Amino acid sequence: MKKVQVEEVKSLHNRRNFLRISGITLAGAGLVMAGCSSDDDKGTTPVANQNPGVRNGVFDLGGGDLGVLTYAYALEQLEADFYTRVVNGNSFGSTFNAEEQAVLEDLYNHEVIHREFFKAAISGVISSQDQLLPSLQFDYGSLSFSNRTQVLTTARTLEDTGVAAYNGAGRYITTPDYLVLAGKIVSIEARHASAIRSLINPGSADFAGDDVVASSSGLGQALKPSQIITAVSALDIIQTPFTAQFLP
């Protein structure tokens, strides 16, 4: 029994260190992307009529590479907001044990980095701040942040959705540097999903369950932006309306 406990602690320690190192690495990548010159970004912004911005009173995510970045920014706003509420809730310490708190705090830090990374990256290439997606408003309805099962189940849904979103959006990115960065981010999101699934069902194979990894190909889900937006809309968490008429 003692040996098993030691191995579990080592596994958690290694997983947490890897999550933390991955997040720091990504933060550095974000600074590189945000610092790209206008010459480097030439040709990556869609034509004027597909730029992100308000259309008929509602913000549209836009099309092309900038539309995909804005779409990712919307998803990262959701994840960052969720984990912010989780770790800053009054019952965080009593709802989750020390190991779970450590993992959730790491995920919180990563998602905030992701959100701020996209905000900085998009701000660096748009011609007007009117083209930047505003801060979204969220309502989690009956979700109780003092209920461990509800929180972890919601986290699993958000992380699995995020992985499928990045996998599906990659094909629509035309700028190689953006595609590389999207690949780095989705690898982090996949590890988040794995960590959450391990917290829900320790010692199982759920971290790579058949519901997210196809047994025939060994590949994860890849869903188009329109499919992801429909799925996220069904959760009824995002309260700020937006459209995505130029995304597939």
The 10s digit of each residue's pLDDT in 193-208 is 989 999 998 876 555 5
User: pTM of the entire structure?
Assistant: 0.81
Give me the mean pLDDT over the 168-184 stretch: 91
What residues make up the domain containing 32?
2-36+61-243
Output the domain CATH number for residue 132.
Answer: 1.10.620
pLDDT band at 22 (very low <50, low <70, confident <90, very high): very low
The 10s digit of each residue's pLDDT in 106-142 is 999 999 999 999 999 999 999 899 999 999 999 999 9
Q: How much is the mean pLDDT over the chain?
A: 82
Within-domain flag for 220: yes
Residue 44 has pLDDT above 70, yes or no: no
Within-domain flag for 54: no
Within-domain flag for 73: yes
Within-domain flag for 46: no
Within-domain flag for 164: yes
Within-domain flag for 50: no
DSSP one-letter string for the chain:
-HHHHHHHHHHHHHHHHHHHHHHHHHHHHHHHHHT--TTTTTT-SPPGGGSSEEETTEEE--SHHHHHHHHHHHHHHHHHHHHHHHHTSTTHHHHS-HHHHHHHHHHHHHHHHHHHHHHHHHHTT-SSGGGSPPPP-B--TT--TT-HHHHHHHHHHHHHHHHHHHHHHGGG---HHHHHHHHHHHHHHHHHHHHHHHHHSTTSSGGG-TTTB-TTT--B----HHHHHHHHHHHT-B-S-EE-TT--
Instruction: Please state the domain count of the chain.
Output: 1
Within-domain flag for 135: yes
Give me the mean pLDDT over the 78-95 stretch: 97
Within-domain flag for 219: yes
**What pLDDT sits at residue 242?**
97
